[in-house]
Structure 1
Amino acid sequence: MKKLVLTMLFGLIALAGYSQVRWDVQLGMNFSNMTKADDAKMLPGFKVGLGMDYAFTDVWSLKSGLMFESKGYKLDEEKARPIYMQIPVMAAWKANITDDIKFVVNAGPYFAVGLGGKYKEGNSDIKLFSSDGMNMKRFDLGIQWGIGVELSERYIVNFTGENGFISPFDFPSGYNGDKPKNMTFTIGVGYIF
């Protein structure tokens, strides 16, 4: 047992000695909608934040950060546009295409907290997360995945998708069980510093 613990300890020390943290700023345009809402249409929005890449090896890293993004949907004359603060935690695999270009694939969970937003129908504006408004659930949890490239170890270009696990709305007991969830696609760029 002692040998196993010592081996694991030395392995972690070696891994920590190799690991490298890089920070980046990200900006993107997203398109969001709700799953299982057939008549709803994609709503354009934004994503901005600070990212972190913790490299374990040349190939594997852990990506996280603090992002602010709009989600929502459009249905006829109504629009729901919640704003979330989101923390993704993703495993990333990188492959060198050339000396200056890396192909990146990543996936993992995200946790989001609703900060605000409005539901608009006609001339009325209703707050999404307040109890006297839409009473939308403030917390979201889901999976995020993406592909992209890193250029010259300075720039990031990526495409990401997100699928929520939690329905943001409560439905009556007679509802058929097809609860809609957040779904977002983002085209983004970033700068590594």
Structure 2
Amino acid sequence: MVGGVQKLYTMKKTSIAIMAGIISLASLKATAQSTTSATTNTNPGGIYLKGGWNLANISTNGDGTISDKHTLSSFNVGVLGDIPLNDMFSVQTGLFLQGRGSKTDYFADPNNKDNNYVKTRFRPLYLQIPADFVIKVPLSNQARVFLGAGPYVEMGIGGKSKVETNVGGVVTTSSSTIKFNDDDPTTGDQEGARYDRLKRFGVGINALAGVEFNRIAVGVGYDWGLTKINSTQTDNGANDKNKYRTFSVNLGIRLN
């Protein structure tokens, strides 16, 4: 237990250090560009506060596809550093709190959704660090369309699982805290693996697209998890079942 706490503390310190570096690099780059060519720069870069709405799900089939009826509404929020390479290309990274999960609704009578049902809501939370290569097409000095993709890593930090049942009009609810194992990401094992615990760390690929105008960025994204979520599952390559799939709609505000 002590070892797991120390690992989590170390990861949090690493995340803070990474964000400090991101902010410094983005600030220096944006300042240099604005000083050099404030009127002609079509890719200013900078630091964004971002947040949005997630449609979270978990793959249910071997080919990685999902069932739409299990889609859960959640959220994302964080800080993004946009580091321009030139007028059309950027590298983006940051630190985000991501809501993952899924839902399940069972009705004894599909035509009666007011009574005799079981509803579950599974809402784990993760700290995510993406690393995206982004292409931007200028529309004017203040507007551009962007498209990008890249990998991400994430660390589970908490969340809740809730069950609501209705039997004969009597409603009962229960909730439990989502637990993660004490994995050491530098080893190939899942330390502290148990059937009731999720993997602490995961990786995936994301894609994003949208429009920037002045200091505002509006876009959509999709996170395709590559890691099975349960700590007792190690066959990531055998099939694509039980992996996170998350669509998001996001709004960003550039701070500098």
Q: What displacement does 1:126 show?
A: 2.2
Q: Which residue of 1 aligns with 2:213?
A: 151
Partner of 1:103: 145
- Partners of 1:167 and 1:113 lie apart in 2 by 13
- Cα distance, 1:167–1:96 mapped onto 2, change above 3 Å: same
CA contact (8 A) 2:52 2:251 kept: yes
Q: Offset at 1:133?
A: 8.5
Q: Where in structure 1 are there 5+ consecutive unaligned residues?
A: 1-15
Alignment counterpart, residue 70 of structure 1, candidates 93, 99, 103: 99
Partner of 1:30: 54
2:80 & 2:254 partners in 1: Cα distance?
Answer: 9
1:114 aligns with 2:143: no
The alpha carbon displacement at 1:136 in A equals 1.2
How far apart are 1:137 and its partner, in Å?
1.1
Structure number with the higher helix fraction is: 2
RMSD of aligned alpha carbons: 2.5
Supply the distance in 2 between the matched residues of 1:121 and 1:172 (Cα, whole angstroms): 27
Q: Provide the C-alpha distance between the structure 2 equivalents of 1:190 and 1:139, rounded to a whole number of angstroms.
A: 26
TM-score by length of 1: 0.81
Q: What are the ranges of 5 or more consecutive residues in structure 2 without an aligned counterpart?
A: 1-28, 34-42, 61-65, 106-118, 165-172, 182-193
Is the CA contact (8 Å cut-off) linking 1:142 and 1:162 kept in structure 2?
yes
Work out which of the two has the higher radius of gyration on C-alpha atoms and give 1 or 2. Answer: 2
Q: As a proportion of its length, which structure holds more strand?
A: 1
The residue correspondences of 1:1-193 to structure 2 (distance < 5 A) are: 22-36=46-60, 38=67, 41-76=70-105, 77-122=119-164, 123-130=173-180, 134-152=196-214, 154-169=215-230, 170=232, 177=239, 179-193=241-255
Number of residue equivalences: 175
Q: Could you tell me whether the CA contact under 8 Å between 2:51 and 2:251 is conserved in 1?
A: yes
TM-score scaled by length of structure 2: 0.62
Partner-residue secondary structure (3-state), 2:179? coil
Shift of 1:21: 5.4
Percent identical: 29
Distance 1:130 1:144 in 2: 23
Aligned-partner Cα distance in 1 for 2:142–2:234:
54
Partner secondary structure for residue 70 of structure 2: coil
CA distance in 2, matches of 1:172, 1:103: 39
